A and B are shown apart, each in its own frame.
Chain A
């Protein structure tokens, strides 16, 4: 599947398995990363709207852009001008809260996800 919100839940099957596993190896302590880099958005309380501390970039926005950079965390960090560790923290948060973040992304969409 190339397009659609479901890619975020099926990224390994979308050809990103190797990249994803490489990222998983780099992420030594996910809980520590999340605590260091992820914080609530004071204007949008709730676990679906958390953001990168000090940068104000929501986790959902990063996850939403992940397919556009071929699931490459380094490229994602460059695209948003964020430290790689912050992106890794966001992806770790996503792994632990996948349904919430997918739902938040779906709330932005003009229509249900479908192929273009």
Chain B
């Protein structure tokens, strides 16, 4: 069983919808003023999949998470458990968002150290730093 970690960009009710599908889901307990990097660290240290609508900033963080330890030759750098960016422009309800997150996990695709975003033509698609 995976645990989803929802930052403050997600509707609280997405957590409820995930619970109904048998998943653990935690809306962030961090203070409202917490920065994005604190959310990623909090989720990564617990092995939780971070869910956010903030694709712009989490792509940046994901890119740093991937590239800095390699460039700096830092051993033992932990993986994060995955970052998933549900779209907002497609009018997904909380139930639809939970359905698609459930489907992504059920697909068995690699989530660790991967950022997924939704493409209309291909569904969940891993994003790679350019």
B94 at the interface (CB under 8 A from A): yes
- The verdict on A79 contacting B118 (CB below 8 Å), with A4-B89, A42-B33, A43-B35 known, is no
- The verdict on A108 contacting B85 (CB below 8 Å), with A56-B8, A64-B53, A79-B11 known, is yes
Contact of B120 among A58, A61, A116 (CB under 8 A): A116
B79 at the interface (CB under 8 A from A): no
Q: A61 touching B91 by the CB < 8 A rule?
A: no
Smallest CB gap from B59: residue in A: A108
B110 at the interface (CB under 8 A from A): no
Interfacial chain A residues near B55, Cβ < 8 Å: 107-110
Interface of chain A residues 72 through 116 with chain B (CB within 8 A)? 78-81, 104-105, 107-111, 113-116
Interfacial chain B residues near A115, Cβ < 8 Å: 120
A24 at the interface (CB under 8 A from B): no
Interface of chain A residues 1 through 53 with chain B (CB within 8 A)? 2-5, 7, 42-44, 51
Q: How far is the CB of A98 from chain B (nearest CB, A)?
A: 15
Q: A67 touching B33 by the CB < 8 A rule?
A: no
- The verdict on A58 contacting B9 (CB below 8 Å), with A105-B89, A110-B127, A116-B120 known, is yes
User: Could you count the A-B residue pairs with CB atoms below 8 Å apart for me: how many are there?
Assistant: 84
Q: B56 touching A107 by the CB < 8 A rule?
A: yes
Interfacial chain A residues near B35, Cβ < 8 Å: 43
B99 at the interface (CB under 8 A from A): no
CA distance A105 to B92 in the complex (A): 15
Q: A56 touching B85 by the CB < 8 A rule?
A: no
Interface 1/0s, chain B 37-69, versus A by CB < 8 A?
000000000000000011111000000000000
CA distance A115 to B94 in the complex (A): 19
- The verdict on A64 contacting B12 (CB below 8 Å), with A43-B36, A110-B119, A110-B127 known, is no
Interfacial chain B residues near A114, Cβ < 8 Å: 120
Q: List 21 A-B contacts (CB under 8 A).
A: A3-B89, A3-B91, A7-B89, A51-B32, A54-B32, A55-B32, A56-B32, A57-B8, A57-B9, A58-B9, A61-B53, A65-B88, A68-B11, A68-B92, A79-B13, A80-B11, A105-B88, A108-B54, A110-B119, A111-B120, A114-B120
5 residue pairs, one from A and one from B, having the closest CB atoms? A56-B32, A64-B88, A110-B117, A108-B55, A79-B11
